[in-house]
Amino acid sequence: MMEIPENVKGAVEFDPYLKPYAQVLSERRYLADKWAYEITHATPDGSYQSLAKFSRDSYKSYGLHANPQTKEISYKEWAPNAKRAFLVGEFNNWDGSNHELKNKDEFGNFYITIPPLSNGDYAIPHDSKIKVKFQLEDGSEIYRLPAWITRATQPTKETAKQFGPTYEGRFWNPTEPYQFQNNRPVFNESHDSLRIYEAHVGISSPEPKVTTYKEFTQNILPRIKKLGYDAIQLMAIMEHAYYASFGYQVTNFFAPSSRYGTPEDLKELIDTAHGMGILVLLDVVHSHASKNVEDGLNNFDGSDHQYFHSLSSGRGEHPLWDSRLFNYGNFEVQRFLLSNLTYYIDVYQFDGFRFDGVTSMLYLHHGVGEGGAFSGDYNEYLSKERSGVDHEALAYLMLANDLVHELLPESAVTVAEDVSGYPTLCLPRNIGGVGFDYRLAMALPDMWIKLLKEKSDDQWDMGHIVHTLTNRRYGEKVVAYCESHDQALVGDKTLAFWLMDAEMYTGMTVLKEPSLVIDRGIALHKMIRLITHSLGGEAYLNFEGNEFGHPEWLDFPNVNNNDSYHYARRQFNLVDDHLLRYQHLNNFDSTMQHTEMKYQWLNTPQAYVSLKHEVDKVIAFERNGKLFIFNFHPTNSFSDYRIGVEQAGSYRIILNTDRQEFGGQNRIDENARFFTTDLEWNNRKNFIQVYIPCRTAIILALE
């Protein structure tokens, strides 16, 4: 009988199908634990330090730091391939001869401490431009933005003409740093619901422009609060020189994007959200980095293998993303990335992270080509011969989860963007899992779009819909969503567009009766959201604007659209126009979130599905004592329709998609009470009989 290694025993007991792969799982966990041991014991005196202390000490020593007591400025940079280093900027007229970094140590770290001016002021003025100049062994000189720079700005037109379009490093040292007023909301991962509003600050205005942090704080946060979401996932925050990359080509990892305002403005945004009881998650990109050289990390110290795998290794470049890939096995890379997480938690008060590109990180094939065809078979992930798993990237993700949960024991949220379904990804680290709290249910939007694209309503397969919505690994939580930013980008279409694109611009007025297209579109938009929300996962996500059926895709200014901002915006004005039907979808979304807040079905055990009727197109299930009934039939309404239910008693409707304020036809009497009959039906102990019109859904709860 095979002995189960102690370090994964909990995971194998939780999921016995893992038993044949226990040794593989053990080896993968061992690597992360080994690294954690090495990091936490890597002190000069050999004493123990936590991951939090290691990463905190690192971001407080590397990069530029001002000492408010002595007015000294310290700067530390890791550049092992460089021979000499000089700090240059406006403060010394770009002449670094008096500001050479001395003391290159055995690890390749350069240091300098700059004393204050004779009048006692800092030698480098706040927000002034700054760079590091390296001299290489061959005598050549290169200029870079410090790797740990905390602010980088777009060049002015004049500067761009003179020096090119590269971003400019800034020494950020405000005399009055922002002071946080509000405590973080407490989030209990074991029972609190998570309703995530995915947002991009720059597009958050009806005007064709880049929206600011301050405008988002003032105009969008109140909308999110009113809708009933309790978390925001902020996209494209880490500085990226190319706006149209949607934030996925990061150039400066410690600098929040200056397009939207200052670092202090971002702190105010997060603090204000906390005051509203809303968690704020950062979409963190540790899966790859921009290829930019002069304002990024690529070739930072003149070598191609400092932060990344070398190009000659075949692992240094992403095959599709045209970006560089981190060498997660390198101690200094671990320091840089782990410190990056701590920095955003400490300095900006983020409450957790949505890790981008986890599938790409997990596999040497990056989920591309034949390697990206996942069926769910455990061999695809855990077989030594077949899986192609990148053990170092996996170990880094384990350490990252250890760190975030150590820093935020009361409220941490980590979400993995993984399409592969890697087993144990969302099991706790201490039993042998990777440690994420949730993974994104990425198969759900694909299913809905495929249905709308390829099948008429009468061909929809109720069994297939239910299977896709409930097909998740036992005990591993998922964030359900019917569409995210991916489906809103140009080249794809949102659900509202798939449903109503023919009449989105002409048929949404309330001044005339809705056409068949609009009537169907509004009805299905609500039903798809509700069934995904209630059956598809333990948390829910919506991308901004999609809650009200935003009529246009998202396209950032680029050469193909003449640098236009016309589609790089969200038209919230449409919701506020009471002559348009967008308000109805918005009303429904808000009521759905508030109903969940009050009655809670997210983050409870999976639903029991009692009915999937292919002819009637009816689905019924119970979750956390609530009864959900969906009639997807395009034309057939049913009176006295028999639905099985476990608990006996008197039921009332708590949500009904057919209300007039939701753009419905008001066919359902919400004052009705439904009494159970003590007869078994569809494997439930009792049944009730309800009127369920075509294309409607209702939720019932015991009185």
pLDDT digits (tens, 9 = 90+) for 279-297: 999 999 999 999 999 999 9
pLDDT confidence tier of residue 369, bands split at 50, 70 and 90 = confident
Domain contains 188: no
The tokens for 685 are: 């102990």
Burial, 34: exposed, middle or buried (Cβ in 10 Å; 0-12, 13-18, 19+)?
A: exposed
Which active-site residues does the annotation give? 356, 417
Q: Does pLDDT of 491 surpass 80?
A: no
Residue 315: C-alpha distances to residues 302, 367, 518 (Å): 18, 14, 50
Give ∠ CA 694-540-481 in degrees, rounded to 5.
Answer: 65
Helix (H) or strand (E) segment spanning residue 654: strand 650-656
The verdict on 674 and 530 lying in the same domain is no
Q: Any idea how long the chain is?
A: 703
Helix (H) or strand (E) segment spanning residue 283: strand 279-284
Farthest CA pair distance, the chain = 91
Instruction: Compute how many other C-beta atoms are within 10 angstroms of the C-beta atom of residue 40.
Output: 16
User: Is 570 within 8 Å of 509 (Cβ atoms)?
Assistant: no
Handedness of CA 424, 428, 432, 434 (dihedral sign): positive
The tokens for 298 are: 């690529």
Give the pLDDT of residue 160.
73
The CATH number for 577's domain is 3.20.20.80
The verdict on 277 and 416 lying in the same domain is yes
Mean pLDDT score across all residues of the chain? 95
Burial, 200: exposed, middle or buried (Cβ in 10 Å; 0-12, 13-18, 19+)?
A: buried
Domain contains 185: no
Give the pLDDT of residue 165.
83
Q: Does pLDDT of 652 surpass 70?
A: yes
Give ∠ CA 615-619-624 in degrees, rounded to 5.
Answer: 165
Q: Which among 393, 200, 368 has a CA at the least distance from the CA of 288?
A: 393
Give the pLDDT of residue 158.
77
The verdict on 22 and 106 lying in the same domain is no
The verdict on 42 and 150 lying in the same domain is no
Pairing label, strands 696-702, 626-631: antiparallel
The tokens for 672 are: 């009705």
Domain contains 115: yes
Cα separation, 144 vs 87, in Å, equals 10
Give the pLDDT of residue 48.
80
DSSP annotation of 682: T
Sequence-ordered list of residues with C-beta below 8 angstroms from that of 183, at least 6 positions apart, any chain: 274
The verdict on 402 and 435 lying in the same domain is yes
Q: Does pLDDT of 1 surpass 70?
A: no
pLDDT confidence tier of residue 161, bands split at 50, 70 and 90 = confident
Tell me the per-residue pLDDT of 534-557, one tens digit each, with 9 for 90 and over: 999 999 999 999 999 998 888 999
The verdict on 156 and 268 lying in the same domain is no
Cα separation, 342 vs 55, in Å, equals 6
Tell me the per-residue pLDDT of 38-50, one tens digit each, with 9 for 90 and over: 999 877 777 789 9
Give the pLDDT of residue 492.
76
Domain contains 362: yes
The tokens for 163 are: 């020096």
Give the pLDDT of residue 47.
74
Q: Which among 233, 274, 257, 263 has a CA at the least distance from the CA of 348?
A: 263
The tokens for 28 are: 């993968």
Tell me the per-residue pLDDT of 662-695, one tens digit each, with 9 for 90 and over: 999 999 999 999 999 999 999 999 999 999 999 9
- Estimate to the nearest angstrom the gap between the alpha carbon of 538 and the chain centroid: 15
Query: What would the DSSP string read from start to end of 516-574?
Result: HHHHHHHHHHHHHHHHHHHHS-SEEEEETTGGGT-SS-B----GGGTT--TTSS--THH
> Which of 599, 633, 665 is at the close of a domain?
599
- Estimate to the nearest angstrom the gap between the alpha carbon of 231 and the chain centroid: 11
For residue 52, which phi and psi values (nearest 5 degrees)? -60, -45
The tokens for 505 are: 């611009």
Query: What would the DSSP string read from start to end of 271-311?
Result: HHHHHTT-EEEEEE--S-B---STTSSTTTTS-SSSSB--G
The tokens for 449 are: 């779009």
- Percentage of the chain surpassing pLDDT 90? 89
The verdict on 14 and 106 lying in the same domain is no
Give the pLDDT of residue 292.
96
Map residue 587 onto helix, strand or coil: helix
Domain contains 340: yes
Helix (H) or strand (E) segment spanning residue 585: helix 582-599
The verdict on 164 and 201 lying in the same domain is no
Q: Does pLDDT of 113 surpass 80?
A: yes
Map residue 513 onto helix, strand or coil: coil
Give the pLDDT of residue 425.
98
Number of independent structural domains in the chain: 4
Domain contains 178: no
Least confident span in 122-126, 190-194, 472-476, 634-638:
190-194
The residue behind tokens 């700054």 is 130
The CATH number for 639's domain is 2.60.40.1180
Domain holding 47, by residue range, is 6-53
Cα separation, 566 vs 490, in Å, equals 12
The verdict on 525 and 546 lying in the same domain is yes
Helix (H) or strand (E) segment spanning residue 86: strand 82-89
Instruction: Read off the pLDDT of each residue in 22-38 and give the average, rounded to a whole number.
Output: 96
> Which of 556, 576, 599 is at the close of a domain?
599
> Which of 599, 632, 663 is at the close of a domain?
599
The verdict on 136 and 231 lying in the same domain is no
The verdict on 226 and 347 lying in the same domain is yes
Domain contains 615: yes
The verdict on 588 and 469 lying in the same domain is yes
Domain contains 31: yes
